[in-house]
Structure 1
Amino acid sequence: MIDDTKQGGARRASLGRGLSALFGEATEDYSALDKVRQSKQVPIEFVHPGKYQPRRKFDEEAISGLVESIRDKGILQPLLVRRDAEDANSYELIAGERRWRAAQIAGLHEVPVIIRDLSDREALEIALIENIQRQDLTPLEEAEGYRRLMEEFEHTQEDLARAVGKSRSHVANMMRLLALPDPVKSMVQDGALTAGHARALLTAPDPAAAAREVVSRGLNVRQTEDLMRGDQPKAKKGKAANDGSGTAPAMKDVDLINLEEEISARIGLKVAINPQGQRGTITIHYQTLDQLDDVLHRLGGEE
């Protein structure tokens, strides 16, 4: 015989748990609930910047323009957040901090969010990728993001390059900027120097003094590279080279030199890349016929 009282009690208890889940009581598994939510409105004060936000500098003029758009149309793209590990009713921003800042200025009381269950590493990867795609990061912010992924989450440069959709040489070149002295970093952060300028300055005996000279003289990247080699910066176009050939040699930038080194490391032979406008040549230097045979086998796809 079935005890209807117990059966009904079980139904009521089950229903009670379902209602508490709907109303979001603290005893429920928030992660499980978040997985079935696509987007929701939350009080703006419940959202706070993420600890893995790579951006340190926000364009106030751009935010002002966004404020007017939000006042007129609202926030069209939800913010990406995750639950705060220490407060179940609080959300940590992963992507969309500029929209969140503009929404505060616009006087919004609620913002749309998409909640995801993300690890710390995933949070930093997504925040970094989102900002890189929007070209919102300064070179140093990008470099610092790469450094954190490598040091805190044990990424290799190749893993990191795949994760953010960049070449390994790009990641390596950006991270080299972190070796610059603070005065030069400030110039890069403020936009007085580009990443190309900064990479050229890495070879200077006194990068800070060289950076000040570059800025005061208004030198471009190629002129800065000339300065670092001890040459007097000047326009190369139409000037004859000192070797009597009658034409000036093409100047290689730091990225091209690094690419030569990367290819050389991969095949074990010296490689020279000679750009000629949009075209160019790649020269592979070998010293024995065995080395030549090995290169031919690789080009032919043979192991």
Structure 2
Amino acid sequence: MNNTKKGLGKGLGALIPQLEQAPDSGVLEIRIQEIIPNKNQPRKEFDEEKLQELSHSISQHGVIQPILVSKVQNGYEIIAGERRWRAAMKAGIKKIPVILKELSDEEKMEVALIENLQREDLNNLEEAQAYKEIMEKYELTQSQLAEKLGKSRVAIANTLRLLHLPEKIQDMIKENTLTAGHGRAVLSVPENLQEKLAQKIVEDNLSVREAEKIAQTLKEKEELKDPQDHPKVKDEGSDQDYILDLQERVQRHMGTKVKIKYKNSKGKIEIDYYSDDDLERIIRQLIE
């Protein structure tokens, strides 16, 4: 295993010095033009209105909380505090208070992600993409990442699932036209129905719960289209209701899409998974 992982997991408090610890906590003033953004910044979009509000506050009161930076070849790279830096630039501030901290690339990425998550600054797709990049770059499992971020593994898995949505629907989540909950409801229907459901959610201003109910109806209709798959279920309403009820209960328990194919009291159960970690989670649920 890659030894570069050892620096991860310290937590934000250990990586970012608290200013109240001591008067000589290492706060410096650096020319704002010497500072460059973090190349691994998980947040890709900054709310212009909120940025303008912060800029106005900074022009009146200055930058009260220093940003965290590390020394790089051509200046200083932001580890945490890019929003304050951008607002200070807008306000015409020439120098900005910083805390200089030497961190590995892994630690920089982790701090940038945690800072945004704690301030709820990331949209759901940015959060999912950041999870994916960290896991791939540093060979972390969902469980390891969940432990470092203080989240459940299921929460990490559910966020990552959003990356399986078509690009058009991902854009709707980025623009806050749909919520992450809506996105997960859309994911539960076949691909050929996903855009149709997303559009209906927007047009009818559906809640997540309403979207989930429609998704379940669409899935049931799709599954009953082929008479070869469900001859008995289709003919006998009581069996149909029973099988569909079982399917929904198993889905809720497993936390993923489940399909029960039924024919003459025999058939098979299909359980979807979206990563190696997701597969391990499902297997544990089945054997425990």
1:106 is aligned to 2:91? yes
The two structures, once aligned, show a CA RMSD in angstroms of 3.0
Structure-to-structure mapping, 1:20-99, within 5 angstroms: 38-84=26-72, 86-87=73-74, 90-99=75-84
Supply the distance in 1 between the matched residues of 2:152 and 2:197 (Cα, whole angstroms): 29
Over the matched positions of the two proteins, sequence identity in percent amounts to 42
Residue in 2 that maps onto 1:208: 195
Looking at secondary structure, tell me which structure has more helix per residue.
2
Q: Does residue 117 of structure 2 align to residue 132 of structure 1? A: yes
The answer on whether the counterparts of 2:254 and 2:282 sit within 8 Å (CA) in structure 1 is no
Output the CA distance in 1 between the equivalents of 2:286 and 2:173. Answer: 35
Larger RCO: 1 or 2 (CA < 8 Å, sep 6+): 2
| Unmatched 5+ stretches in structure 1 | 1-35, 233-241, 244-250, 271-303
The whole-number CA distance in structure 1 between the counterparts of 2:38 and 2:157 is 26
Secondary structure of residue in 2 paired with 1:91: strand
Q: Secondary structure at the match of 1:51?
A: coil
Cα distance, 1:269 vs structure 2? 5.1
Partner of 2:207: 220
The answer for unaligned runs of 5 or more in structure 2 is: 1-23, 220-236, 239-247, 257-277
Normalised by the size of structure 2, how large is the TM-score? 0.69
Aligned partners of 1:173 and 1:255 also within 8 Å: no
1:197 correspondence with 2:194: no
- SS at 2:98 equivalent: strand
> Against the structure 1 CA distance between its residues 43 and 255, is the aligned structure 2 distance closer, same or farther, given a 3 Å change threshold?
farther
Moved over 3 A (4+): 254-257, 261-270
SS at match of 2:71: strand
| Bigger Rg over Cα | 1
Give CA deviations for 1:235-277 in whole Å, capped at 9, x if unaligned. xxxxxxx99xxxxxxx98x887529x9987446458xxxxxxx
Residues in 2 aligned to 1:256 and 1:213: alpha-carbon distance in whole angstroms:
27
Is the 2:43–2:122 Cα contact (8 Å) retained in structure 1? Answer: yes
- The answer to whether the Cα contact below 8 Å between 1:37 and 1:115 also exists between their aligned partners in 2 is no
User: Alpha-carbon deviation of 1:148?
Assistant: 0.5
Deviations 1:16-53 (A, max 9, x none): xxxxxxxxxxxxxxxxxxxx971100000011111110
Structure 2 residue identity aligned to 1:164: L
Selected match of 1:174 from 139, 149, 159: 159
Contact 1:142–1:174, Cα closer than 8 Å, also in 2? yes
Structure 1: which amino acid aligns with 2:89? Answer: Q
The residue that corresponds to 1:10 in the other structure is none
Aligned to 1:258: 255
The TM-score, its normalising length taken from structure 1, stands at 0.65
Number of residue pairs aligned between Structure 1 and Structure 2: 219
Q: Any idea what SS the aligned residue of 1:127 has?
A: helix
Kindly state the Cα deviation for residue 209 of structure 1 after the two structures are TM-superposed: 2.4
Q: In the alignment, what sits opposite 1:286?
A: none
